[in-house]
Structure 1
Amino acid sequence: MFDSFYKINYLGPNTSRASDKKHFKREHLFNFRDSNKVLYTISLEEFEYNTFELSFCLHKDINRKDRFNTLSGLYRGSTKATKVIRTCVEAMLFFYKKDKNCSFMFIGASLAGEREENTKRFRIYSLLMKNLFPPYAFAHYERKDLSFYLLLNKNQEQSIPFFPKKVWQMINEIYVLPSVKRMM
Structure 2
Amino acid sequence: MTLHADKPRLDPAALRELTRSGEGPRLLDVRTPGEFRTAHIPGSYNVPLDTLREHRAELLNHLDEDVILVCRSGARAAQAEQALAEGGLPNLRVLDGGVMAWESAGGPLTRGPARWDLERQVRLVAGSLVLVTGAAGLFVPGLHLIGTAVGAGLTVAALTNTCAMGMLLSKLPYNRGPRTDLDTVVAALRDAP
TM-score range, shorter chain: under 0.3
- Point out which structure has higher relative CO (alpha carbons under 8 A, 6+ apart): 2
Judging by fraction of residues, say which structure has more helix. Answer: 2
TM-score by length of 1: 0.26
Name which one, 1 or 2, has greater alpha-carbon Rg: 2
TM-score by length of 2: 0.25
